[in-house]
Chain A
Amino acid sequence: MTSPVKKRLIKFLLSLIVLAISILIIVYNLRDNIVYFYSPSELQDLNTSDVRILRLGGLVSTGSIQSETNGIHRFKINDGNEEISVKFEGILPNLFAEDKGVVVEGKYIKDELFIALKVLAKHDENYMPPEVIDSLKQTGNWQGE
C-alpha cells in the first residue's frame, strides 16, 4: 500500500498543513500586536471607541508641562494644528522638554485625554522621531531642512 509516491505525497501534505497553520498563527499574532502611530490631527479624526494601544507623536506644547509630586505628569502634544492632552505616571526621560519631539504610547480616552503608558526617549537632544517630522511636514509646520 505504501508506495514511495504515496509516502512522499503524505509527507508533502503534512508539511503543507503545518506550514499553513503556523503562518496563520504568526500573522494573527502580528495583527494583534501592531501599534499604530498617529499625529494629534489624525487622532482627532479617529473613532474614539478604539481601545487599542497606539502611539502619538508631535511636539510638546510650550508651557504645558505640569508635574505633580506623586509622579503624575500632564502635558500637551501638538502638530501645529491640533493639540492632545496627555497624562503620564512615571519618570519622564532626560531629554523630554518643551518644543521638543516626543512619542508616547498608550490609550486614547474619549474626553480628548491620552493616557500614556510609556514616553519614548531618544538619545540625542537634536533627534526628532521620523514620524513626527512626517506629520509636521503634512501640516506644514516643519521648520527643519
Chain B
Amino acid sequence: MNNIISLSGNLLLIICLATSMLQSLNLFTANSYTNNNVKLFSTIQFTSIVLAFLILIFLFTQSNFGFELVTFHSHSEKPFLYKISGAWGNHEGSLLLWILILTLFNFLYSLSAERDKLYKNKVIAIQSILIIGFVLFSIALSNPFTLNESPQSEGLGLNPILQDPLLAIHPPILYFGYVGFSLVFSLAVAGLLSSNINNVWAETVKSWTFLAWTFLTAGIALGSYWAYYELGWGGYWFWDPVENASLMPWLAATALIHCVVVLQKKNTMQSWTVLLAIITFSLSLMGTFLVRSGVLNSVHTFASDPGRGLYILSFLFLVLITSFTIYALKSDGIDKENSYSIVSRDAGIMVNNWVLITILFIVFLGTIYPLFTDLVLNTSLTVGPSYYVMTITPVIIILLLFMIISPLVNWTAGKLSNVIVKMRYVLISSLTLVLILSLYFFLFSLTELTIIFLCIILILTSISSGIIYSRKNIIITPSLGRTLSHSGFGLLLLAIVSNAVYSEEKIFDAKVGDTLKLSDNTFRFEKINQFEKQNYNSIQAIFYLMDKNKKVEKFSPEIRFYNDPPTITSETSIVHRLFEDIYIVMNVTQATNSISVRIHVKPFMTFLWIGVILIILGGVLSVFIKNKKINA
C-alpha cells in the first residue's frame, strides 16, 4: 500500500514537471497547441501539487511511519493540529509547500484577464521554469515520499517549540509572500522580453506586488510575535540571520511597491522598477537558501544539508545570471523621459528608495560577513545587534523625513512652502507633544526624541491627508492604503523606540508565598501546579499581580518536559495591557527549594502590534484600490 502512495506522490510531481516543461516551451516557440492550452496546463500543474500536498498531510495525520519524513518529524501522540502542520514543519514538506504556492500563483494568473495573450503565455512560461527548478529539486534531492527501508513503529517527533498554533500558520503565510514575488519576477522578465514595461503593465503588477508584500509583512510579523512569546527572552526581534533573511526581500519589496505605483501613475522609472522586481525575488530565493542550507548559525536553524544548499545556491545563481543578462540586454532605453525637480514627490520616493536599499545593504553585510569570514578566513564571529541599531538609526531619520514630506508635495515640481503651510498645525501640535513627553519621560536621548517627533508628525499628516471628510459620509480616497500603512509604520517605530528605552526586567529566586517587586508592580507567588498532558508533563507556577491586597492579573508560566524528542521548554505567561505587557518566564534551577523567575515589563507592545496590523491593512486595501475614488 505504501508503495502505491509513494509512487502516486512521485507521479503527481512528475505530471507537474512534464506540464511545466510544456508550458515553458511558449517562451521559445509559437506552438499553437501549448499556446492555446495555457489555462488547462496551469490547472494541471496546480491540481497535481495540491493532490501531492494532500497526500503528504494525509500521511502525517495517519502517522504513517512507513515514510521517512513522517518518521523523522512526527509522533503518534502529537496533537492533531501539529500532525497536520508537521507536514510543512520540515525541509521536504516546506519545499512542497513552496511549489504549491508557485503553482497557485501561476494558476491564479492564468485565470486573470490579460489583453496581450502572447505576453501572458510568456509570464506563465517563466513561472513554469521556476516550477521545474523546484520540482526537480523535490524529486531528486528532497523527496517527501521516500519510504523507510524498514517500517518504524514510532516517529521521532516534532521539535516542541515548533508545536505552536502560530508556527503552524507562519510558514504558509511567509511563503505566500516569498513565493508571491516569483510571479512579480516572471511578469518583469516577460515584460522585458516583450518590451512592454509601461503603466498598463504596472496596473497588473501592482495588485500582485501588494498581495505578496502584504503576506510577507504578515509572515514576518507572525514570526516575530512567535519569537516574543515562545523563546522567552523578552524580545521580538534579534537581528538573527534567519530574521534578516526575511527582512531583506521585504526592504526591496517595499521600495518596489512605491515604484510600481509611480510607474502606473506617471509611466516613468521603468528600468529601476524591473530591477527591483528581480532583486526582490532573488532575495526571496537567497532567504530560502540561507534558511534551508544550514550555513547560518542561527537560533532558528531547523534543517541543514550541504547538498541541498548547493542546489539552491546553483539555482539562485542561474536565476540571477539569466535575469540580469536579460535585464542588461533589454532594459536599455525603456525609461520614458522624466524630469522632475528636487522638490517633488518623485524625488522624495527616489530618495526613500535609496534609503531602503541602504538599509538592505546594512542588513546584507551584517548577515553575510560572518559567513564570509567563516568560509574564507576560517574565523568564527557574530555581528552584534548594536551594529544594526547604530547604523540603521540615522538612516531611519532620513526615511521618516521623506515619508512625511513626499506625500505632501506635488508630482514633478512641488513647493516646500506649500508643505509647511499644509503641515503647520501638525507641526505645532507634534512639537508641543514631544516637549511634554520629554519632560515626563526624561530617559529619551535627543536622537530618540527626534525619531519620536518625526513619528508623531508622520502619523498625524498621514491621517489628515488620507481621509477627506465630506458633508455626510467619509470618502475613501485612493491614498487610504498609504494612510494606514504610513501611520502604522510611525506607530510601530514609536513603539519600538519607547519599548527599547523603557523596558525593564529582573530575575528572582522565588519560593511559594514570596512577594516580588519590579518598579511599581508587586507580584505574589501563589502556588505550584503539576500536571500531565498528551505529550508532555508540566510544572506551572501561579503568580498574581497585586494592587494593594487585590489580585489584579493572573500569570501562569510553565516549564514543559516533552517526551519525544525529550526537550524542556519554558512557556511564558504574558498579560497584555494597553500601555505595557507584563511578561513572566521561569526556568529550571539547580536549587531545589526555589525557582528562577524573570519578570519583564515591556511598554507599548500593544501599539507595536497595532502598528504592524495597520501596515498590513494598508497593504490589503492597496491590492484592491484602483486609482480612482471608491465610495464606502
Contact = CB atoms under 8 A, between A and B. Distances in A.
Contact of B566 (A32, A92, A125): A125
Contact of B587 (A37, A65, A92): A92
Contacts of B161: 123
Contacts of A94: 559, 568-570, 587-588
Nearest to A37: B380
B387 A36 contact: no
Nearest to B382: A35
Given A94-B587, A94-B588, A129-B297, A35 B365 contact: no
A126 B565 CA distance: 10
A134 B378 CA distance: 10
A125 B587 contact: no
A33 interface: yes
Contact of B380 (A25, A71, A91, A134): A134
Interface in B373-390: 379-384, 386-387, 390
Given A70-B509, A93-B587, A35 B159 contact: no
Secondary structure of the B contact surface, majority rule:
mixed
A29 B299 CA distance: 23
Given A94-B570, A131-B297, A33 B381 contact: no
A17 to B, nearest CB: 14
B549 interface: no
A65 B591 CA distance: 11
A53 interface: yes
Nearest to B586: A91
Contacts of B566: 125
A26 B361 contact: yes
Interface string B325-359: 00000000000000000000000000000000010
B226 to A, nearest CB: 13
B598 A91 contact: yes
B369 interface: yes
B32 interface: no
Contact of B590 (A26, A55, A65, A124): A65
A37 B297 CA distance: 12
Q: What band does the interface of chain A fall in when counting residues whose beta carbon is under 8 Å from B?
A: 35 or more
Contacts of B570: 94
Interface in B386-432: 386-387, 390-391
A125 B565 contact: yes
A87 B418 CA distance: 61
A69 B587 contact: no
B199 interface: no
Interface string A10-38: 00000000000010011101101111110
A39 B279 CA distance: 39
Contacts of B361: 26
Contacts of B365: 26-27, 30
Given A30-B365, A70-B509, A94-B588, A123 B383 contact: no
B567 A123 contact: yes
B443 interface: no
A67 interface: yes
A33 B568 contact: no
Nearest to B560: A94
A139 B391 CA distance: 38
A135 to B, nearest CB: 9
B335 to A, nearest CB: 15
B496 interface: no
B121 to A, nearest CB: 40
Contact of B362 (A26, A69, A90): A26
Contacts of B2: none
B379 A90 contact: no
A115 interface: no
Contact of B383 (A33, A93, A131): A33
A130 interface: yes
A34 B382 contact: yes
A49 B101 CA distance: 55
Nearest to B391: A29
A69 B384 contact: no
A100 interface: no
A30 B383 contact: yes
Nearest to B589: A67
B625 to A, nearest CB: 34
Contacts of A36: 379-381
A71 B559 CA distance: 19
B34 interface: no
B596 interface: yes
Given A25-B391, A32-B387, A69-B509, A123 B589 contact: no
Contacts of A35: 381-384
B567 A125 contact: yes
A95 B589 CA distance: 11
B435 to A, nearest CB: 30
B391 A26 contact: yes
Contacts of B386: 33
A26 B387 CA distance: 8
Interface string B585-615: 0011111001010100000000000000000
A64 B361 CA distance: 44
Nearest to A127: B301
B523 to A, nearest CB: 16
A30 B565 contact: no
Contacts of B587: 91-94
A70 B594 CA distance: 11
Contact of B591 (A33, A67, A93, A134): A67
Nearest to B590: A67
A123 to B, nearest CB: 5
A29 B387 contact: yes
Contacts of A122: 299
Contacts of B159: 123-124
Contacts of A33: 383-384, 386-387, 390
Contacts of B366: 30
A70 B507 CA distance: 10
Contacts of A34: 369, 381-384, 387
Nearest to A23: B361
Interface of B: 159, 161, 297, 299, 358, 361-362, 365-366, 369, 379-384, 386-387, 390-391, 507, 509, 559, 565-570, 587-591, 594, 596, 598
Nearest 7 pairs of A and B residues by beta carbon: A33-B387, A37-B380, A94-B568, A33-B384, A67-B590, A91-B596, A131-B380
Given A33-B386, A36-B381, A93-B587, 4 more contacts: A32-B390, A55-B380, A95-B567, A123-B567
26 contacts: A22-B358, A26-B391, A27-B365, A29-B390, A29-B391, A30-B369, A30-B391, A32-B390, A33-B386, A34-B382, A35-B381, A35-B383, A36-B379, A55-B380, A67-B589, A67-B591, A71-B507, A71-B509, A73-B590, A92-B589, A94-B559, A94-B569, A95-B567, A123-B569, A124-B565, A125-B565
